[in-house]
Chains A and B, each alone.
Chain A
Amino acid sequence: MLECRSCGAGAPVDEHFCPQCSRILALGRHGDYFAFLGLPRRLTIDAQDLEKRFRDLSRQFHPDYYYNATPAERLASLERSSYLNDAHRALKNPASRVEHLLAIEGLPPAKSEDGAAKVPPSLLEEVFALNEELDEIRELRESGTDPARLRARLESARRPIDEKREEHERQLRELSARWDSQEQSPAAEKRMTLDALRERLLERNYINNLLATIEREVANLSAGSGQPAAGSK
């Protein structure tokens, strides 16, 4: 329950305005972006619907409209607007949407726990091959090999990683759809889906780091050859 700072009445936690005096309510310790936006806890979201909810709630909360209000209402407007903006940002992007779902379902964050040090078992083969290739390219670069040739090698080293990522995106979509269909399922089954989602997210973060490493190598090549990065394209 929330307590209205304007009239003292109680209000359900997902209400934005006091049912009694209709003033804007203080945010309290809200934690569920889905509920805040009036959405079910599902991973498939209609982007246009999300945008419309965001605009409509912005129109209700924004500090622009509370200039002549009481300090309590102004603070509430600031809190609710900020929270709405956070919620919108998190739910707009499919990956951060999954992250938020995992958080509110009580799973540990899918960020790197022990840093990105631990290679996910499903990626061992690719990571091993890539690191070997990168070492070789670095050596060749230092011994003055033609950057154009090395760039081509980097491109082909990138391909299997790109494929992995696409596969992951597909798996994430499938798992998301499974989660959405499991509303009535037993908790244990739902938990399995969540665990799988978390596993995919961890791998995804790892893949993104690998791709960033390749990008840096490409940038090094360009810098080394005295060409601007854009010149290669």
Chain B
Amino acid sequence: MGKVVGIDLGTTNSLVAYVDNGVPVVIRDDGGDALVPSIASVGEDGTIFVGREAQRRLLTAPTRTVYSVKRFMGRGIEDVRGEANLLPFRISGETGGVVRIGVADREFTPPEISAFVLRELKRRAEEHFRKRGEFDFEVDRAVITVPAYFNDAQRTATRDAGRLAGLEVLRIINEPTAASLAYGLDTGNRGTIAVYDLGGGTFDISILKVEDGVFQVLATNGDTHLGGDDIDRLLVEQVIAEILSRGLNQPSRPALQRSAGSDRESDPPSQHWPVGSQRDPTLAKAEGSAPQPSPEAIQEIRKAVIQAKWDLSDVEETEIRVEPSPGVPAGYRKRITRADFERLIRPLIDRTLDPCRQALSDAGLEARDIDEAVLVGGSTRIPLVRRVVQELFAREPHSELNPDEVVALGAAVQADILLSGRREMLLLDVTPLSLGIETMGGVVSKIILRNSTIPASGREMFTSGVDNQTGVDIHVLQGERELAADCRSLAHLHLKGIPPMPAGLPRIEVGFQIDANGILSVAARELRTGIEQAIEVKPSYGLTDEEVERMLIESFEHAEADFEARLLIDSRNEAESVIHATDKVLRQPDFATIAAEQLEPGERERIDAALAALKASMGDTDRAVIQEKTHALNHATQHLAEVTMNRSVREALAGRNVKDV
């Protein structure tokens, strides 16, 4: 059996963590970075880049680079059309079906893109365990977190992504609940907790009661389309609108040529953002009238506004600084104060309040009954968000644990609970949305109510409408509204093989079971004959099992190529570090002295030749060539390395007694 990890699969960033001797830790790369940007990019030769490398390609290959794919998980094209205009990659799909993401000549579903990110996390974790000298370093199982307000289709899509990445998904758990587990570790006490989780793309509020180590969710609410991304989009739209209105996208305006320089005087005077009088800032309205900036320009703008957003969490005023790009040749700069920023985003942040009030009311509590409020998600670094939460619950919210890391830590804790069977802690979560079926006249009959503790089950009786009818169709939905048209369609079930009987005589009991993952399964039985009915499930916004199987097979076919690509990247990285080290020695101020005193005749030339050969091979796609040249350079510099090493040791020891050493 391999290793088990906890994964926070985020809209913007993802993390992997595990429990090491009872303590949950996130796994970092060599540079100490725990965050893997949830971005995948397809190279010109089909290589898949993920994480930081893919993030760099946002600017250089925007149409081949997919980000924020979590927003599309388990959703249909009609849900996301509104935001498609600012995305540099293509999205498509049939109405009432899965979203498809087009990159160059390939097409991906959201779970496939998420699987790339998961595979990178799996690789990172395996690398970590291998470096620790663990014999069995393979990671084959994981607990993956999702927003609490994710519906069945979104959860299923996440589980599919795990499978596609070669992970057995032990459990899907909710992000705010995971966070509370991480926080609960060192408190161990009792009380009522509100977890406010505003991430890159989603918002959740969960109200929990903690007692005897049982973390019981009383109510949850949220918005799966509200987060830092929306803040970024507001800013991007504002910048684009201003670039268009000031004509900055036209190359030949002399005034702008000047401001392209770095001299501050020629910057346009700081203007206040026209927030008050602002129209609905969707660019869709501007579509016909003005040309859209290029994908490159949009990514430059995104990068600049995100930086400004981060700055404004620490300082009162900053500058949005868009680097020149083909679409905006002169670039763009603008002062922005925290007050401007807060005016702009206030309506977005206020949208978190209604879900909070609803969750409180569903839990049968008032804001003053909350003992602790906990902040989770990168967007809770924004001072306005903290103020809003503080006002709502009338207490200073907790943010001791890194809001980016706390969810992954909690997932690792849950993975450990599942594995060890330790019963000190238990998480009892709820289903966020009511489950129902469509009945006569398009009305929904609810079978499992929202905020029911999971696992939960419900039953419904069906019969036939005509004599000898052998099949029944059932439309399953999720949501709180009365009409099926206003709820989320989950699936169409078709019951088959009902024994032929006069109309109304069969008594078919359909059992709906929501498991601890919040995912639905259905079973049906004809009670007179006791015959278990076969059920065909056609998910409305998900992949069928057959599709997932096919993708798995395809991913195995691609896996070898992907593995090769990874090895190539590793070889290049190693070569780079050897080149860097060699260059450094050669450029040392006293290198001439060393060379004259210690190097053999022709040694310097051999080093130069090996160095040049390796540099020339860097563009090669055959990693064997790069490895060979790296090896050659290592060999050529071996003597030099010894010489410089001895020398620096001598220098370090100069003037000191042997006793001191």
Please list the residues of chain A having a beta carbon within 8 angstroms of any beta carbon in chain B.
51, 55, 58-59, 62-65, 67-68, 78-79, 81-83, 85-86, 88-89
Contact = CB atoms under 8 A, between A and B. Distances in A.
A129 B211 CA distance: 49
Contacts of A59: 214, 423, 426
B418 interface: yes
B456 A82 contact: yes
A64 B454 CA distance: 12
B2 to A, nearest CB: 15
A81 B467 CA distance: 39
A68 B455 CA distance: 18
Interface residues of B, number: 23
Nearest to A27: B457
A85 B419 contact: no
B370 to A, nearest CB: 18
B87 interface: no
B632 interface: no
Given A59-B426, A62-B426, A67 B170 contact: yes
Interface string B344-374: 0000000000000000000000000000000
Nearest to B354: A230
Contacts of B453: 85, 88-89
Given A62-B428, A86-B457, 12 more contacts: A55-B214, A58-B214, A59-B426, A62-B426, A64-B417, A67-B419, A68-B421, A78-B513, A78-B515, A81-B455, A81-B516, A85-B455
A78 B455 contact: yes
Given A55-B211, A78-B513, A78-B515, A65 B423 contact: yes
A59 B452 CA distance: 18
Contacts of A64: 171, 417-418, 426-427, 516
Contacts of B427: 64
A58 B455 contact: no
Interface string B410-425: 0000000111010100
A58 B457 contact: no
A196 to B, nearest CB: 28
A89 B426 CA distance: 18
Please give me the 9 A-B residue pairs with the lowest Cβ-Cβ distance, nearest first: A82-B457, A85-B453, A82-B455, A55-B214, A81-B455, A67-B418, A63-B516, A65-B421, A85-B456
Nearest to B453: A85
Contacts of B418: 64, 67
Q: Find the residue from A55, A82, A83, A86 having the highest chain B CB count within 10 A.
A: A82
Contacts of B454: 85
B45 interface: no
Nearest to B214: A55
B590 interface: no
14 contacts: A55-B211, A63-B515, A64-B171, A64-B426, A64-B516, A65-B421, A68-B421, A78-B455, A78-B513, A79-B457, A82-B456, A85-B453, A85-B455, A86-B457
Nearest to A63: B516
Nearest to A61: B455
Contacts of B211: 51, 55
B392 to A, nearest CB: 14
A18 to B, nearest CB: 19
B44 interface: no
A41 B279 CA distance: 62
B212 interface: yes
Contact of A89 (B419, B423, B452): B452
Contacts, number: 53
A232 B211 CA distance: 39
A51 B452 CA distance: 15
A86 B256 CA distance: 68
B419 A63 contact: no
A63 B548 CA distance: 25
B215 to A, nearest CB: 11
Contacts of B423: 59, 65
A82 B453 CA distance: 8
Contacts of A83: 457
B155 to A, nearest CB: 16
Contacts of B513: 78, 82
A94 to B, nearest CB: 13
B277 to A, nearest CB: 20
Contact of A58 (B417, B428, B452, B456): B428
Contacts of A51: 211
Contacts of B417: 64
A86 B456 contact: yes
Nearest to A51: B211
B351 to A, nearest CB: 14
A62 B171 CA distance: 13
Nearest to A62: B426
Contact of B455 (A63, A65, A67, A89): A63
B65 to A, nearest CB: 38
A81 B456 CA distance: 8
A64 B171 CA distance: 9
A78 B523 CA distance: 14
B450 to A, nearest CB: 12
A81 B455 CA distance: 6
Contacts of B426: 55, 58-59, 62, 64
Contacts of B428: 58, 62
A147 B511 CA distance: 47
Q: Find the residue from B417, B427, B428 having the highest chain A CB count within 10 A.
A: B428
Interface string B423-462: 1001110000000000000000000000011111100000
A60 to B, nearest CB: 9
A59 B212 CA distance: 10
A74 B427 CA distance: 17
Contacts of A79: 457
A92 B495 CA distance: 35
Nearest to B422: A65
Interface string B500-519: 00000000000001011000
Contacts of A82: 455-457, 513
B418 to A, nearest CB: 5
Contacts of B452: 85, 89
A124 to B, nearest CB: 28
A83 B453 CA distance: 10
A206 B171 CA distance: 43
A83 B426 CA distance: 17
A51 B426 CA distance: 14
Interface in B125-155: none
A67 B417 CA distance: 10
Nearest to A67: B418
Nearest to B458: A86
A55 B421 CA distance: 16
A67 B457 contact: no
B3 to A, nearest CB: 15
Contacts of B171: 64
Contacts of A63: 455, 515-516
Interface in B379-409: none
Nearest to A83: B457
Contacts of B212: 55
Contacts of B214: 55, 58-59
A55 B455 CA distance: 14
A43 to B, nearest CB: 20
A118 B418 CA distance: 52
A71 to B, nearest CB: 14
A85 B518 CA distance: 14
Interface in B95-114: none
A1 to B, nearest CB: 19
A156 to B, nearest CB: 25
B510 to A, nearest CB: 15
A51 B212 CA distance: 11
A83 to B, nearest CB: 7
B145 to A, nearest CB: 15
